[in-house]
Amino acid sequence: MSTIPIKWRIWGRTFRVERGASGRWSAVGRAPGLAAYALYKLGDEATESAMQVRLDHWGVTNGARRVMPPMESANQQQILAV
């Protein structure tokens, strides 16, 4: 499992794994100006990695687009190190 959580984009929202008030992990979609959209059909899990596996499967089967984290080039890292 990747250490970087994978986010999925579909229906104008970005879906990711979040910890709820109960302390369990669930999949939630958020967008500016819209209410949060929880994927209740996926249920919830005790661990973040288990919920991420469910969200990844859901994203692939529903044609969602993966949101990749911004990558830094080696040149940018050298500039920031100065």
> Which residue(s) pair with 30 in the sheet?
14
Q: What was the pLDDT predicted at 25?
A: 94
Cβ neighbours of residue 60 closer than 8 Å, sequence gap 6 or more: none
The whole-model pTM stands at 0.76
d(CA 20, CA 13) in angstroms, rounded, equals: 18
Instruction: Check: CB of residue 67 under 8 Å from CB of residue 13.
Output: no
Instruction: Check: CB of residue 10 under 8 Å from CB of residue 62.
Output: yes
- Exposed, middle or buried, 71 (CB in 10 Å: 0-12/13-18/19+)? exposed
- What mean pLDDT is reported for the chain? 86
Q: What was the pLDDT predicted at 68?
A: 80
